[in-house]
Amino acid sequence: MYKYDQYDQSIVDARVDEFRDQARRRLAGEITEDQFKPLRLKNGLYLQLHAYMLRVAIPYGTLDSRQMRKLAYIARTYDRGYGHFTTRQNIQYNWIKLEEAPDILADLATVEMHAIQTSGESIRNVSSDQYAGASADEIADPRPWAELIRQATTFHPEFSYLPRKFKIAVIASAEDRAAMRLHDIGLRLVANDAGDLGFEVYVGGGMGRTPFIAPLIRAFLPVDHLFSYCEAVLRVWNRTARRDNIHKQRVKILVHQMGAEAFAAAVEAEWQEILPNKSDVPRAEFDRIAAYFTPPAFEAGDREPDRADPDFAVWLDQNVKPHKHPGYAIVNISLKPIGGIPGDASADQIDLMADLAERHSFDELRVTHAQNIVLPHVRKADLYTIWQALVDAGLAESNLDLISDIIACPGLDYCSLANARSIPVAQKIATRFAGRQRDLGELKLKISGCINACGHHHAGHIGILGVDKKGTENYQLLLGGSGAEDASLGKITGPGFSEDGIVDAIERVTDQYIAVRQDGERFLDTYRRVGMDGFKEAIYG
Amino acid sequence: MTDLLRFRTDAAHEEPAVSLDAFVEGQANASAVRLEAGDDARVLIPYLDRIMLVEIGFPKFRDGRGYSSARILREAGYTGELRAAGDVLVDQIDFMRRCGFDAFAPDAPIDEAVLTRSLERYDYHYQPAADAIVPVWKLRHG
Ligand code: HEM
Ligand code: SF4
């Protein structure tokens, strides 16, 4: 894992001091809320329905037990004893006081963490594959590149007052576990015929009210030019995006309006202008960063766990994934207990996961974009012990990628922009389908409480969108989306439903799937084969 | 309009700035030009050796186009005064300095004490820009 040196620490400490000063000026009335808003948003502080919400960056979703324990400490000390892991691999606290926010940042800085650029019109925390460094299908660990981007985009002077937010994801395998093509820039590390490493560069993906899957704008960018090329993308966008309509300022709109080819040409031209600035990070610096990501000292030996306990065997089959090193496995800890709040974890649970990582996973944890936690490097021999500890903590739900492994946004329970509640719908669906979720197989269900799409509903195999219908909460149903390597956007089935009606509608959808599925087909495969027509009658009669 | 803040030692350039359109349409001998946020700074590149002041307008502090305009001019070798005018707030000036601005004409007065602290706050910066600051990666590797 990356460790700060004196420079990284100095920058984060200075940021705490800066924010303390900004908060003081706001509390003293020296600056208006309007002037303070972009400043606090550059630091992850949102004003919500009931309190401030603070979003803490977990760069590319990787953290160690010391950092995880600090997150638990913050939940206990400054919040109501829990935190909420997000779809961009961060954590949010929902009950924060402005007066205490600078102290939280100071606490975070002691464990090399921060909330820099986690909201607002800035380059956000870089996301990546939660299995990075552990999965057999990657060509290299993508995280050194993610860390390089983190540093180079932190307080970038030219790109700190962007038209809108800007999100970057980096992956290094064919399977996409990070919704890479739903980011403003998606990068996939690949090798060319000569064996050199480069990036496929996708630009202009995003959710929100106008979702797009990012088109490829460059098939092979030599790795040494990663940063200057990103700067070119940012500069073209910063200079030419609209500034008169907040809903049309994301880079996805620009790429769509110009067309991917013309946009790519503009970026190439700008890149030629930027190259002489020599802003690319040199290979020696990359090597320094990469040295922090060398694989841990795996032990030899491969012993399959004893499957005698049937509940344990179910968990093994559902939540444990193959590791690139024999004798090891990747453990997914579900934060989706049936009937719980997706992505929430109590301070005690966070501490327990930290303990398990320290004892059994080379001190590493990952946050996933599906709002779960991963222990990336676990000896197979330790799996049973870990499972027992998770059972005791209420963290052993065996539902990875099943219908109850729901992504849901905070919705009307917390969010000032919401049209409808998301959490109760998620709870009802999980409860209704828990008994037959294994039969339904992989089924990614995602819920947003409004058109902003924080809950990724466009990318759900089944998506749910909360809308306001003449003052009452109403839910639209979408089918056929995917955030994975086969990315697609879901389509609305037709008229919406009430809160209970949507749960019934999903039951009709899944019944229809079971009736028409062919051997080995996932829900998504069946939908793609039979289309919306194959479901419409079942849904609306 | 409040006091002009300058980080240059030469005298402030007093000639009134002409708009980019006026400059292009016949006043190319003017030595001071004002760019609006959406103007293409690259149009000025052929004339940079005789321009002494470029003023870039910030209609709203959230409109960040002027940061790119400034860098483009500095990267093209412009050494004259580069002035940020309009909705320029104290928390933006550090970034603006890094993009090459060396004069500020803010709509509202800037608190000098807050500004001084803000300009001195960060000892290190991760990336090179249009100023002389050495990026952290260079410090790390000499
Ligand atoms: C509760 C406070 C929140 C507010 C006020 C909020 C606000 C927004 C808004 C306004 C957008 C639309 C941006 C756009 O289309 O340009 C958005 C998008 C998004 N938000 Fe949130 N959000 C909140 C919480 C969350 C949470 C908890 C998550 C993660 C679970 C999240 C993840 C996302 C994602 C992934 C997007 C889509 C990004 C894209 O369009 O590419 N947000 N949010
Ligand atoms: S999707 Fe809408 S309701 Fe849900 S968190 Fe985002 S802004 Fe709030």
Domain boundaries, chain B: 6-141
CB atoms within 10 A of CB B107: 13
Q: How many angstroms separate the CA atoms of A336 and A398, rounded?
A: 9
For residue A205, give both structure tokens: 């993906």
Residue A163, pLDDT > 70, answer yes
Confidence of residue B1 (pLDDT cuts 50, 70, 90): low
Average pLDDT over residues A183-189: 98
Q: What is the mean pLDDT of residues B41-59?
A: 96
Which of A247, A417, A423 maximizes ligand 2 atoms within 8 Å of its Cβ, making it the mutation to test the pocket?
A: A417
Q: How far apart are CA A230 and CA A218, in angstroms?
A: 12
- Note the pTM of the prediction, 2 decimals: 0.95
Give the tens place of pLDDT for each residue, A382-426: 999 999 999 999 999 999 999 999 999 999 998 889 999 999 999
Q: Which residues line ligand 1 (CB under 6 A)?
A: A 46, 48, 53, 86-88, 92, 164, 167, 182, 206-208, 250, 409-410, 414-415, 417, 452-454
CA B86 to chain centre: 12
Beta carbons of A96 and A154 less than 8 angstroms apart:
no
CB pairs under 8 A between A and B: 104
Task: Give me the pLDDT at residue A47, please.
Answer: 84
- pLDDT, residue A48, reads 81
Distance from CA of A115 to the nearest CA of B (A): 17
**Domain A6-109, classified CATH 3.90.480.20, yes or no:** yes
Q: Which residues of B touch A11 (CB under 8 A)?
A: 122, 124-126, 136
Average pLDDT rounded to a whole number, residues B38-56: 96
Ligand positioned closest to the Cα atom of A120: 1
CB contact under 8 A, B64 and A282: no
Give the number of the ligand closest to the Cα of residue A54.
1
**What DSSP string describes B10-27?**
SPPP-SPPEEHHHHHTT-
Cross-strand bridge partners of residue B103 = B6, B83
pLDDT band (50, 70, 90) for residue B10? very high
Q: Which one, of A468, A466, A490, lies nearest residue A479 by Cα?
A: A490
Domains A6-109 and A407-540 share a fold: no
Q: Which residues pair with A32 in a beta bridge?
A: none
Instruction: Reply yes or no on domain A310-393 having CATH 3.90.480.20.
Output: yes
Instruction: Say how many Å lie between the CA of residue A453 and the centre of ligand 1.
Output: 6
Residue A431 β-bridge partners:
none
pLDDT attached to residue A259 = 97
Give Dmax over CA atoms of chain B in angstroms: 50
Fold of A407-540: Sulfite Reductase Hemoprotein; domain 1 (3.30.413)
Query: SS3 for A420?
Result: coil
Query: If you classify domain A134-290 with CATH, what class do you get?
Result: alpha beta
Q: Is the pLDDT of residue A352 over 80?
A: yes
Distance A194 CA to ligand 2 centre (A): 46
The alpha carbon dihedral of B80, B86, B91, B95 has a sign of negative
Under the banding of pLDDT at 50, 70 and 90, the label for residue B2 is low
Tokens 């460059």 — which residue? A218
Cα dihedral A147→A149→A153→A159 (10° resolution): -160
Q: Which chain B residue is nearest to residue A231, measuring alpha carbons?
A: B68
Task: Please work out whether the CB of residue A455 comes within 6 Å of at least one atom of ligand 2.
Answer: yes
Q: List beta partners, residue A62.
A: A366
Question: If you compute the radius of gyration of chain A from its CA atoms, what whole number of angstroms results?
Answer: 23
Instruction: Give pairs for B92-97: CB < 8 Å, separation 24+.
Output: B92/A161, B92/B61, B93/B5, B93/B118, B93/B119, B94/A157, B94/B118, B94/B119, B94/B121, B94/B122, B95/A155, B95/A157, B95/A158, B95/A160, B95/A161, B95/B67, B96/A157, B96/B67, B96/B70, B97/B7, B97/B131
- Determine the average pLDDT of the residues in B10-31: 88
- DSSP state letter for A361: S
> What percent of chain B lies above the pLDDT cut of 90?
88
CB contact under 8 A, B95 and A273: no
| Residue to substitute from B136, B138, B139, interface A, most A β-carbons within 10 A | B136
Q: Tell if the CB–CB gap between B122 and A11 is shorter than 8 Å.
A: yes
CATH number listed for the domain at residues B6-141: 3.40.50
Terminal CA-CA length for chain A:
54
State whether the beta carbon of A452 lies less than 6 angstroms from ligand 2: yes
Domain boundaries, chain A: 6-109, 134-290, 310-393, 407-540
Q: A190 CB less than 6 Å from ligand 2? A: no
The token pair that represents A176 in the structure block: 């996409």
